[in-house]
Structure 1
């Protein structure tokens, strides 16, 4: 049985932040055989929507928009100015997504990435409730753009709030807005999920994006990732979205430091993309 999916790749595999200069990657991404390009929005001011749309169209590519949630973008912070910064940023992300005909904005937007501490149950409840309240507002804004949000679980080293799909589904239930959907990332699942197939089934129809790399962030097919479990889970929920490679280059020091990539994972980022896609197509039965 084959998966009815499209294949994507994040431009983070080669560079950061996304800007007009990043558009030079699009012909290569298409040539390699990808259908979709993941655009990480670190600085919305660097993205010319009209220009990006033209290059997408010229290369027959679709876009997925992913947010980047550094320390200033934190819906769980006690200082509400951080919430406003997050709202303003996501408003720009929605404008970009709508302008590029994307269907959602994805990411761990409930809290700042790297906010990983041992806090009391009382403090966690306070921060959980802040995330719920603020993301409810985000969903209502997304609705005005005709978009969804795809919320992502992260591993314990990157957040203390949402580490498993079960926790994420509880957050979504508390938000209780139809725009609140799910993105799962195999790298984080490898660390946190005891049963990745069950996690995918738990997400069910809420799952609208699926990111992959290897357990060590390397080329798909070269590590210990339970690929067959992923496939069984995706088949069980009739997943028909994008399966997208997300990893990073050590050449961009700030980004590499954030994700703890201290050395090259492969001799060539181009080979990472090409060989990873070859593996994924075989895995999906294409």
Structure 2
């Protein structure tokens, strides 16, 4: 059975941070055959909404807005000033998403990426409760704009709070707000999930975005990923939104260091995008 999905790609595959120069990628992304472009918002001040909107319309692309949660954007920090910084950033990203016609904002918004420590059960509960309280605030903001939040689990090396589909569904249950939804990322799932199909089914209609790459963060179809399990899981929940390639380039040193990409994974980033999309289209139709 074929999947009725759209295909997207993150501009992180080529460059960082997103700014007006990044718009030069849009004609190429469309020419390759993509429907959706993921826009990572590292610095909101670099996003010229009018220019981005015009470029999206000119190239017939839809936008997905993704957050970048560095050390200062941490809803579970002991210092509450970090919570305000994070919520202000999330609100800004929500406004960007709304202006660009997206219906959600996505990312691992519960804490800073790379915050991975062995903490006591008491500290874990404190940070969990902070995440629940603060993401609920973010959900209220998103609902006021008619948007959802797509919360992304990360692997154990990048977060000690939310690693699996089970974790994120527990968080959503505690948040108890209809705008709290899920983004699943295949790279993290390939590390953390025992059963990809069951993980996807367990999220069900809360899943509003799926990011993919190979198990080693390379081109889809060139590694050990169980694409058959993804297909069965997505089919079971009637998933009909975007399947989007997210990976990175070692040429952007700061971002490559953040995701521990120490060597080139492909001969060219364009080849990554073209061959990955070709594989995904065939996979979706098989």
Task: Report the TM-score range of the alignment, normalised by the length of the smaller protein.
Answer: over 0.9
What's the CA shift string for 1:79-134, capped at 9, x where partnerless? Answer: 00000000110111011000000010000000000000000111000000000000
What's the CA shift string for 1:131-160, capped at 9, x where partnerless? Answer: 000000000000111100000000000000
* SS, match of residue 173 in structure 2: helix
| Matched positions, count | 286
Aligned to 2:32: 32
1:56-75 equivalences under 5 Å are 56-75=56-75
Aligned to 1:112: 112
Aligned Cα root-mean-square deviation (Å): 0.5
Partner Cα separation in structure 1 for residue 174 and residue 164 of structure 2: 16
Aligned to 1:12: 12
What's the CA shift string for 1:173-194, capped at 9, x where partnerless? Answer: 0000000000000000000000
Aligned to 2:172: 172
Pair 1:249-2:243 in alignment: no
Partner Cα separation in structure 2 for residue 99 and residue 273 of structure 1: 27
Unmatched tracts of structure 1, length 5 or more? none
1:37-186 equivalences under 5 Å are 37-186=37-186
Aligned to 1:215: 215
TM-score, normalised by the number of residues in structure 1: 1.00
TM-score, normalised by the number of residues in structure 2: 1.00
Pair 1:230-2:246 in alignment: no
1:207 deviates by 0.1
Partner Cα separation in structure 1 for residue 131 and residue 141 of structure 2: 15
Partner Cα separation in structure 2 for residue 51 and residue 100 of structure 1: 10
1:26 deviates by 0.1
* SS, match of residue 40 in structure 2: strand
1:203 deviates by 0.5
Partner Cα separation in structure 2 for residue 90 and residue 156 of structure 1: 23
Unmatched tracts of structure 2, length 5 or more? none
Aligned to 2:202: 202
Dislocated runs of 4+, deviation >4 Å: none
What's the CA shift string for 1:41-80, capped at 9, x where partnerless? Answer: 0000000111100000000000000000000000000100
Partner Cα separation in structure 2 for residue 47 and residue 92 of structure 1: 11
